[in-house]
Homo-oligomer: A and B are copies of this chain.
């Protein structure tokens, strides 16, 4: 890794000490115009989501908190280095000297890339070894970079918050791996496959930090100015709406009208996933609420009916229910994005705003919104194909008996991999 970084990675012009000369040459009036000040606060929020959000969300199991937060830490720290290289080759390669030039936006993208693998981790939580996780991440990041390049650059779909690129891909990637690693005797660990009171409270730390900072996630790499502003507002509204629907559905479908912490911890986040693609478009505040409303229902019902069905009939054991939180809402998000893009008009966006928002420049300067809608739809298909296909291949590799995975009666237990004194 050090050698690869040594050969390929350099600072970009905004993080290089030549910035002061570059600034004067380009007649930029102030240091505050450095991209750092546009994106650093959002970057830090995304960073918190990756490490605290995903990490603590998975601590709900009674004896797998070390593994949840510790392996999440390991995967993320490994993945972001590999992602800087892989994404760099596709997106930030400077052809004049063959170097990848990195700045704050690359760090955000590396965190995004890692998110795809952490989603996949959610499906196999407690059933794999750390070495398997590193393999899952190595291939996951690589597939992600290729898929992202195809969707964003070749197809020219827009996907600010990664509904397709991150959540759909990550969700199906994890589910396919989990299907390949199906354990028929997993009920031998059923004593450990539940929560205790305080582990559920720890998981709420993860939920809340994901929920609160999701507006930063969806706005982190959108256009400066109105793009970031609008993406944050749309995400904020969609998430607020999802919380209400989730609580209502959870209470309605449980006996005695009681709420279930699993739904509160997970389904409340589905709105943020589903508004990812369309967040930067003129979705309108009520549009965001509708998206959030629908996703709260779909996601909660998924936990109640679909997850048990998938485990019983499809042989997919999905520990964290990522199908309900990431895969389905991700696809919904892709569809919402396609519709919103296809429906875009100059009267709503303004002539310059339209070009600016959809990036109709260069090779794509003759595109119109309806075309863009089609490209968005194509993006969804690519994401699903890469997720399922990649997952099956990587799942095959992970079935090799060389990775030290835990026995069926040792799943969901920190004991095999951690020094636990009590």
User: Are A225 and B31 in contact (CB-based, < 8 A)?
Assistant: yes
Contact of A96 with B by CB under 8 A: no
Contact of A94 with B by CB under 8 A: no
Which of B15, B264, B293 lies in contact with A73, CB distance below 8 A?
Answer: B264
Contact of A44 with B by CB under 8 A: yes
Q: Known: A20-B353, A48-B212, A241-B81. Contact between A422 and B11, CB under 8 A? A: no
- The segment from A118-126, A152-160, A200-208 found at the interface with B is A200-208
Which of B32, B201, B228, B357 lies in contact with A33, CB distance below 8 A?
Answer: B32
Set of chain B residues within 8 Å of A397, measured between Cβ atoms: none
Contact of A91 with B by CB under 8 A: no
Contact of A364 with B by CB under 8 A: no
Set of chain B residues within 8 Å of A69, measured between Cβ atoms: 201, 204, 208
User: Are A205 and B350 in contact (CB-based, < 8 A)?
Assistant: no
A66-87 CB contact bits vs B (8 Å, 1 = yes)?
A: 1001100110011011000000
Which of B37, B201, B233 lies in contact with A15, CB distance below 8 A?
Answer: B233
User: Are A21 and B225 in contact (CB-based, < 8 A)?
Assistant: no
> Nearest B residue to A16 by beta-carbon distance?
B226
Contact of A181 with B by CB under 8 A: no
User: Are A81 and B240 in contact (CB-based, < 8 A)?
Assistant: yes
Which A residues are within 8 Å of any B CB, using their own CB?
Answer: 1-3, 5-6, 9-11, 14-21, 23, 29-38, 40-42, 44-45, 47-48, 51-52, 55-56, 59, 63, 65-66, 69-70, 73-74, 77-78, 80-81, 102-104, 107, 130, 194-198, 200-202, 204-205, 208-209, 211-213, 215-216, 224-226, 228-230, 232-233, 236-237, 239-241, 243-244, 247, 254, 258-261, 264, 268, 282, 284-286, 289-290, 293, 348-354, 356-357, 416-422
Q: Nearest 10 pairs between A and B by C-beta?
A: A17-B353, A19-B226, A77-B243, A31-B225, A6-B286, A31-B224, A15-B229, A5-B286, A36-B229, A17-B349
- A and B contact pairs by CB, cutoff 8 A, 22 listed: A5-B285, A5-B286, A11-B285, A14-B229, A15-B226, A17-B230, A21-B352, A31-B225, A47-B212, A55-B208, A63-B197, A73-B243, A77-B244, A77-B268, A81-B289, A103-B229, A104-B233, A195-B421, A258-B416, A258-B419, A259-B419, A261-B419
